[in-house]
Amino acid sequence: MTKVINTINDDILSENICFIPTMGAIHEGHLSLVDIGKETNLKTLVSIFLNRRQFNNDDDFKNYPIEHEQDIQFLKSRGVDFIFLPQDSYIYPSEGVPSIVPSKVGSILEGASRPGHFEGVLTVVNRLFDLIKPSHAVFGKKDAQQLFLIKDMVSRLDLNIEIIEGEIFRDINGLALSSRNKHLSHDAKLIAANIFKSLQKVSKEINLGKSFEESVELGINSLNQNEIDLDYLEIVDEENFNYPNKYSKKLKLLTAAYVENVRLIDNIDIEI
């Protein structure tokens, strides 16, 4: 039986919880994280909280889809134990909550394009961790930089929480599922599927021995040809998010781009 709750009580604190934070508008990507959570055999708790503090753009916040009734149905059908739907004032009481400033990786890529974004993310995730006291938490690799910074926060603050990573869930054309895809027309979704195709193209070129610079340049050209308004396409060493060097073994290629003015992010792992 799924319970919908607005506050965290002692019953929940007495359980070992596997926590899956979301901002709602639940899709199969979120539900794939729920499935991973259920494999732990702990009680699963999904939060739905649209965190104002991580939006650096008012319109983006105001336009974010809110579908609580449908979210609850989806999560119930996947057997989630607790759905946590807190009020703003519960998460951010008047006495304030500690702000968590990200390490320097927080100021590149998404952090450079969206100032304050990662401080907002880490602050709310830390607050939710503090309220729920989970033993495990599941995050998607879709938000790779966010995942890196959360693991970094858990280690810096010495939080005793195991972070589990979920693979990116894509539609049949390769478009990574996202709540923001609800703003895309049918045609725009087909255009947006070229984002993943371009990432794959770059990955293939690197594996064929082409230099990082040349390969990324090809990816940029391929994205620009496809009515996609590119913000960045960059390659980093997965270990530290620095530009890769000859010792790098695992790379990440990350991109943010606009299609029909909707900001989309995606990434791909590259083994060399």
Catalytic amino acids? 30
Of 22, 145, 181, 198, the residue at the interface with ligand AMP (CB under 6 A) is: 22
Residue 178 or 248 with smaller CB distance to ligand AMP: 178
Does position 32 interact with ligand AMP (CB under 6 A)? The reply is yes
Does position 252 interact with ligand AMP (CB under 6 A)? The reply is no
Does position 248 interact with ligand AMP (CB under 6 A)? The reply is no
Residue 116 or 218 with smaller CB distance to ligand AMP: 116
For residues 188 and 186, give the distance between their C-alpha atoms in angstroms, rounded to a whole number: 5
H/E segment holding residue 146: helix 144-156
Residue 177 or 216 with smaller CB distance to ligand AMP: 177
For residues 200 and 137, give the distance between their C-alpha atoms in angstroms, rounded to a whole number: 29
Residue 179 or 215 with smaller CB distance to ligand AMP: 179
Of 74, 148, 169, 196, the residue at the interface with ligand AMP (CB under 6 A) is: 169
Residue for token pair 């990116």: 168
Does position 176 interact with ligand AMP (CB under 6 A)? The reply is yes
Per-residue CA distances from 143 to 178, 245, 265 (Å): 10, 23, 8
Does position 188 interact with ligand AMP (CB under 6 A)? The reply is no
Q: CB–CB of 130/161 below 8 Å?
A: no
Residue 149 or 216 with smaller CB distance to ligand AMP: 149
Does position 254 interact with ligand AMP (CB under 6 A)? The reply is no
Does position 256 interact with ligand AMP (CB under 6 A)? The reply is no
* Cα angle: 38, vertex 39, 44; to 5 degrees: 25
Q: CB–CB of 236/254 below 8 Å?
A: yes
DSSP structural state of residue 260:
T
H/E segment holding residue 62: helix 58-63
Does position 23 interact with ligand AMP (CB under 6 A)? The reply is yes
User: Where does this chain touch ligand AMP (CB under 6 A) — which range of 27-35, 210-218, 236-244, 262-270?
Assistant: 27-35
What is the per-residue burial (b if ≥16 Cβ within 10 Å, else e) of 207-225? eeeeebeebbebbbebbee
Q: Residues binding ligand AMP: what is the number (CB under 6 A)? A: 17
What are the E-state strand segments in 78-178?
A: 82-84, 136-140, 162-166
Site for ligand AMP in 119-148 (CB under 6 A): 139-140, 142-143
Residues of this chain that interact with ligand AMP (CB under 6 A) are 22-23, 29-30, 32-33, 139-140, 142-143, 166, 168-169, 176-179
